[in-house]
Amino acid sequence: MTKEIIRLEHVSFDYGDHRVLEDINLKVYEDDFLGIIGPNGGGKSTLLKIILGLLAPREGKVFLFNKSPNEGRKHVGYVPQHTLVDRTFPICVKQVVLSGRIGFTDFLRRYSKKDKQIADKVMKIMGIKEIRNTQIGELSGGQLQRTLIARALSTEPELLLLDEPTSSIDVQAETDFYDFLHGLSEKMAIVLVTHDTGAISSHVKTIACINKTLHYHGEKTIPPKIFEKLYGCPIELIGHGIPHRVLKEHDE
């Protein structure tokens, strides 16, 4: 029987007096590759932080590996939007990847032989071993994303959470990246937040559409009416950096 690894029950969240998420119910299983789409400000990134326990819901319950998020997140690799990374910080690729092993080090924060072997392994998997001594400020967008994912993989996770992983990556690198994720999804569960419906339809197994509330959670073919509910207007095209195109005037 497929194991459930994420369960949200009637989850709501507010930033001050602004409700961001309302009555979200969602289940994710160990063999899932879930894509989460929705407009800016729709609550996608907030949802990932709630799953991780970085934010506490105003209402509802969250279970991660059938435990509280704080207990369950040791099994999770998380890659936030890389725009949050300080690229001027004097650290190289290998040091970034090794930092994912800090939770496994001794009280002096010394990396073991095993830590270094795991770091070498994931850098090879991500195709960044040759640039392991490069300072992060010198990396391309694609190289930086691969470095951050290698750091997440160094924790040997059972679940990988990715928040807009292809922002600032060129089209060819983006294609290669999604092909890599597709292969990786055979080994672990992945939850991917993205605006790119092209990637969604080509690679993920299921989709969740979120704009404050959950409008759809199921197979990767989304009924057109769901897009209208999600974005508040009829949609012709979304994805690959192209803003949605409105087919008729918004209702007043």
Residue 92 lies in a domain: yes
DSSP 57: -
3-state secondary structure of 207: strand
- Rounded distance, CA 129 to CA 132, Å? 5
Q: How many domains does one find in the chain?
A: 1
Query: Does residue 252 lie within any of the structural domains?
Result: no
Bridge partners (DSSP) of residue 4 are 29
- Listed in order, strand segments (DSSP E) in the chain are 4-15, 18-29, 33-37, 59-64, 76-79, 159-163, 189-193, 206-211, 213-219
Q: Mind listing the pLDDT tens digit for each residue in 40-79?
A: 889 999 999 999 999 999 999 999 999 999 999 989 999 8
**Residue 98 lies inside a defined structural domain of this protein:** yes
Whether residue 29 lies inside any domain: the answer is: yes
Q: Which domain holds residue 114?
A: 4-231
Q: Is the C-alpha dihedral spanning 233, 15, 64, 11 positive or negative?
A: negative
The values of phi and psi at residue 56, to 5°, are -100, 135
DSSP state of 147: H
Predicted model pTM: 0.83
Assess if residue 244 is contained within a domain.
Answer: no
Task: Please give the single-letter amino acid code of residue 197.
Answer: T
Q: Which residues have CB under 8 Å from 49's CB, separation 6+? A: 55
DSSP characters over 84-124: GS-TTSS-BHHHHHHGGGGGGS-TT----HHHHHHHHHHHH
Question: Are 7 and 27 in contact, with CB atoms under 8 Å apart?
Answer: yes
Distance of CA 128 to the CA centre of its chain: 20
CATH number of the domain residue 108 falls in: 3.40.50.300
Sign of CA dihedral 29, 186, 193, 97: positive
User: Which pLDDT tens digits describe the chain residue by residue (252 residues)?
Assistant: 789 999 999 999 999 999 999 999 999 999 999 999 988 889 999 999 999 999 999 999 999 999 999 999 989 999 887 667 788 889 999 999 999 998 888 777 789 999 999 999 999 988 899 999 999 999 988 888 889 889 999 999 999 999 988 776 667 677 777 888 888 888 899 999 987 776 667 788 899 999 999 988 988 777 777 777 777 765 554 444 444 444 444 444
Query: Is 242 within a domain?
Result: no
Token reading at 66: 């059938």
- Asked whether residue 187 is assigned to any structural domain, the reply reads yes
Taking the C-alpha atoms of residue 247 and residue 123, their distance in angstroms, rounded to an integer, is: 45
Report d(CA 75, CA 160) in Å as an integer: 9
Question: Does residue 237 fall inside a structural domain?
Answer: no
